[in-house]
Amino acid sequence: MQQNANQKKIWVFVFIAAVILLVINFIFFHQKIPLIALLVFIFSNIAVFIFILKYYSDKILHIQSAAEHQQETINIIDAENKKNQEYNLALKLKIARYDNLKKLIEDLNSSLKLDAVIRALSSTVYTLISNSTGVALFYLVDSQYQKLNLVYSIKEDAGVVVLTKEGDIFDQWVLRHSNQLIVENLKKDFRFDSDSISGKEIRSVLSLISSPLISNNSLLGLLRLESNQECFFNQDDLRFLSLVADLGAVALENSLLFQKTQDLAIHDSLTGLYTRSYFIDRLRDETRRCQRLDQYLSLMMIDIDFFKQYNDKFGHIVGDLVLKKMGIVLKESLAEFNPLVCRFGGEEFLVMLSGGIDKKKALAIAEMLRQRIQNEKIMLRRQNTQVTVSIGVASLPLDTKDEDELVQKADKAMYIAKGKGRNQVCSA
């Protein structure tokens, strides 16, 4: 605006000067002056006018050049200001993220429960990096089979379904390389075939970051964030995710060890079934629940027939194999009934069936189980052998309302079955 005002002032001055010269020429033209003098005067005026015009034209060009230079300076300052604003914003974001690490560490140190650790890690990165958009996935590594298992997810859209529960090609890449991964734009990433990926999943993934959780050179799991927008994540996001993964790996390892210790405390080391003490505690709670809801509860006491003969004939190592096999058969045969199965002691097993299974149905299930065990082939010292079992059944509230007496009655029914010749089912 200042530049336009200066230009207007100059052109007004030039216009006034031109008018004055024209008036003077007009006056001289009407005076009786020699022609030569008049011509000299006119051309001198024209020269003066041209000089003035040239002078002020140069002034205008100089002003325009100075204005352009000032505008360039202003543009540079604006760009620097914008860059500084972006830098300050990014710095504030980093400060906010790292401030939240303190809370994350406190959350991780407050609990050894595996679920709590996984939730804390997943929710932190989902909130701070993804701004609570897209999808966050947490995988644990099955060390025995070296495969991934999806154990936790957070989704912006509740209708999104993750089909690949054991990970897709991105997760397999991280598992194989034990290294972090960033895909800024899947359509332009030569490492992965976007067409084959989109055909396997319903949800749309265009950018993602993923980081492994490694402790003591052991890959425990991986944490992944994904978005349906291109270039949603950057290298700063990946660095922060990697930092969270490093912090989480130690907490995750402690949680896994704690869970393993808990599992060992309530599971029989040989068969993998629950221990007797844990079973009795659960039986007590379940008895009260069934009485409150007026539901049935049934027990099956199971004993392997002539088990001592297997130990005497083949040795205790082979006897342990029979017990392991029995544990597997019990869990597989009764899986649909959601039972609680324990190794009660030696070659005896105790099964609890709740949720409306009365005595009549329990006896039918026990007979099915007896036949399944009888038909199961067990290879012992290159010999195909079979085992049979004697099963005693007792139910609540038909036989008793006390959990201890219920166990005693199931045990008594089992001894009745053994007394009748074994390989059969009897009730209290």
> Tell me: the pLDDT tens digits for 246-255?
989 999 999 9
What's the chain's average pLDDT?
A: 85
Amino acid at 34: P
48: tokens are 């003066």
CA dihedral 217, 223, 225, 226 (to 10 degrees): 80
Output the six-digit token pair for 231: 């270039």
Q: 150 in helix, strand or coil?
A: strand
Q: How far apart are CA 59 and CA 63, in angstroms?
A: 6
∠ CA 354-358-364 to the nearest 5 degrees?
Answer: 105
pLDDT, average across residues 185-200: 72
pTM: 0.61
Q: Which residue has the higher pLDDT, 253 or 16?
A: 253
In this structure, are residues 300 and 353 in contact, taking their beta carbons and an 8 Å threshold?
Answer: yes
Query: Tell me, what amino acid is at 89?
Result: L
CATH 3.10.20.30 is right for the domain spanning 114-265: no
CA distances from 353 to 226, 233, 332 (A): 43, 51, 14
Q: Pick the more confident residue, 198 or 292.
A: 292
Helix, coil or strand: residue 138: strand
Cβ(359)–Cβ(399) below 8 Å: yes
CATH class for the region spanning 276-427: alpha beta
Judge whether residue 404 has pLDDT over 90: yes
**420 or 9, greater pLDDT:** 420
